[in-house]
């Protein structure tokens, strides 16, 4: 994540297109979202602009900034590029006639965050809006706009991180922590978060309410001007010496890669060590543990490779069943296959209790032809 500042004036109804190079090239085309971290706009009849991503490559992103009737003195843009395998990015616009939008992903949601990117407004004295996102169920997120003050519409981007256990077994090594916090009105307020130490933190304005004096402006920075947040304790402030700020809500998301000390295993974002509890299996290189299938009491190498079963379940060929399977015999809920000639058997593999069609059953054995010493009845 890094900050791109547009510092030269962009006059009304004009536009610029600019490219920002990533700190280092990606191996795959990344997904990119934007945040607004500060702006200083002149007072015009329209407080409107639009920020859009034009193209993304392995090395850069190209962004278009369009003024729609306002003089843009300065705009600080946060750029987050992510090549994490299972990420979706949605962009949308909400207005007074459509204040809600629903977004669906194909897998189970792990984390998500929404940032506004631009707004369109008509007034010259008051400017305000609120943008919230809520997870409805495991695959759906609702984004809602409210408290429009002079604003007619708002553009946003939504980043969704989801699980894909089958195709990405290292998913438990990544965690995502979102912190939303409110700012106070005075110009010297510091806001401290207590998130865990991240690989990368991404931050920006969430929603706000401003009253213009000479310009519309608000800025949100970490106390250090370095572009990437590298520690868990951050202190932010909003720079409010230009205008009167009713409120400004900011947010930060941490992207954290988890690890454990030597001889310990990562399990559900915690580090554990031997003896390991029942119901999980662990792999090495990297050391990580997963849940067994719900029918397995213990398992090995995979969730469905059962070593033992829950109470009243039958173990057969490393799987657990609620009843005895055809062609098997079971002792103390441990099952083995009957001999090939037996359709069913009891206690041992060759003690047949029934035979396949066109076989002869004699003294708990099955024969392809009638035994010479036997008298057989066709049933």
Bridge partners of 215, per DSSP, are 42
pLDDT band at 117 (very low <50, low <70, confident <90, very high): very high
Run of H or E including 345: strand 342-345
> Residue 262 and residue 243: Cα distance in Å, rounded?
53
The answer to whether 131 and 154 have CB atoms below 8 angstroms apart is: yes
The answer to whether 249 and 205 have CB atoms below 8 angstroms apart is: yes
Tokens of 197: 């130490």
> Residue 250 and residue 203: Cα distance in Å, rounded?
7
The pLDDT tens digits for 42-51 are: 877 678 999 9
Q: Average pLDDT for residues 312-328, to the nearest whole number?
A: 93
| The architecture CATH gives domain 260-323 | Ribbon (2.10)
Spacing of C-alpha 139 from chain mean position? 11
Give SS3 for 171.
Answer: helix
Of 202, 178, 194, 198, give the one whose Cα is nearest residue 257.
198
Which residue carries 């954290």 as its tokens?
256
> Residue 283 and residue 263: Cα distance in Å, rounded?
12
Tokens of 59: 């090395």
The pLDDT tens digits for 172-190 are: 566 666 667 665 544 455 5
| 46: Cα within 13 Å, side-chain hemisphere | 15
pLDDT band at 273 (very low <50, low <70, confident <90, very high): confident
Torsion from C-alpha of 105, 106, 110, 111, nearest 10 degrees: -10
pLDDT band at 146 (very low <50, low <70, confident <90, very high): very high
Of 217, 220, 247, give the one whose Cα is nearest residue 41.
217
Percent with pLDDT over 90 in the chain: 33
Cα distances from 227 to residues 57, 112, 293, 330, in angstroms, run: 21, 22, 44, 65
The answer to whether 290 and 296 have CB atoms below 8 angstroms apart is: no
Residue 226 has pLDDT above 70, yes or no: no
Q: What residue segments make up the domains of the chain, in order of their start? A: 2-257, 260-323, 338-379
> Residue 63 and residue 59: Cα distance in Å, rounded?
14
pLDDT score of 332? 92
> Residue 19 and residue 201: Cα distance in Å, rounded?
22
pLDDT score of 229? 46
DSSP output for 209-271: EEE-SSEEEEEEEESS--SS--SSEEEEEEE-SSSEEEEEEEEEEEEEE----TT-EEETTEE
> Residue 108 and residue 102: Cα distance in Å, rounded?
15
pLDDT band at 379 (very low <50, low <70, confident <90, very high): low
Of 46, 57, 16, 182, give the one whose Cα is nearest residue 124.
46
Residue 370 has pLDDT above 90, yes or no: no
Q: Which residues of 186-224 are buried (b: 16+ CB within 10 A; e: fewer)?
A: eeeeebebebeebebbbbbbbbbbbebeebbbbbbbbee
Lowest average pLDDT, out of 82-96, 115-129, 222-236, goes to 222-236
Stronger pLDDT, 91 or 232, i.e. the higher one: 91
């Amino acid at each position: 994540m890094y900050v791109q500042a547009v510092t030269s004036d962009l006059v009304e109804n004009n536009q610029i297109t600019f490219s920002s190079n990533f700190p280092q090239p990606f191996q795959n085309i990344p997904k990119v979202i934007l945040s607004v971290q500060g702006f200083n706009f002149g007072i015009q009849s329209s407080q409107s602009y639009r920020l859009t991503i034009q193209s993304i490559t392995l090395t850069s992103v190209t962004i278009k900034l369009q003024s729609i009737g306002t003089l843009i003195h300065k705009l600080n843009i946060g750029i987050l590029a992510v090549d994490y395998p299972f990420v979706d990015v949605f962009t949308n616009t909400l207005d007074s006639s459509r204040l809600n939008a629903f977004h669906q992903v194909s897998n189970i949601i792990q984390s998500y965050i929404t940032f506004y990117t631009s707004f369109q407004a008509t007034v010259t004295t008051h400017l305000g809006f609120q943008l919230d996102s809520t997870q409805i169920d495991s695959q759906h997120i609702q984004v809602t706009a409210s408290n429009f003050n002079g604003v007619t519409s708002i553009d946003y981007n939504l980043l969704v991180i989801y699980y894909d256990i089958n195709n990405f077994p290292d998913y438990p090594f990544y965690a995502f922590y979102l912190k939303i916090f409110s700012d106070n009105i005075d110009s010297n307020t510091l806001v401290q978060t207590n998130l865990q130490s991240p690989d990368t933190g991404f931050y920006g304005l969430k929603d706000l309410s401003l009253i213009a004096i000479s310009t519309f402006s608000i800025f949100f920075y970490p106390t250090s001007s370095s572009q990437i947040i590298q520690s868990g304790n951050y202190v932010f402030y909003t720079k409010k010496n230009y205008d009167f700020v009713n409120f400004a809500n900011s947010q930060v998301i941490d992207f954290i890669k988890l690890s454990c000390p030597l001889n310990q295993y990562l399990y559900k974002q915690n580090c554990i060590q031997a003896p390991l509890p029942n119901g999980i299996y662990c792999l090495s290189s990297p050391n990580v543990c997963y849940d067994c299938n719900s029918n397995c009491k213990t398992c090995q190498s995979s969730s469905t490779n059962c070593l033992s079963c829950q109470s009243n379940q039958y173990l057969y060929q490393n799987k657990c069943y609620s009843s005895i399977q055809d062609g098997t015999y079971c002792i103390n809920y441990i099952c083995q296959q009957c001999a090939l000639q037996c359709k069913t058997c009891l206690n041992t593999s060759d003690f047949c209790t029934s035979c396949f069609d066109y076989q002869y059953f004699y003294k708990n054995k099955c024969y392809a032809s009638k035994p010479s010493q036997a008298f057989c009845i066709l049933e």
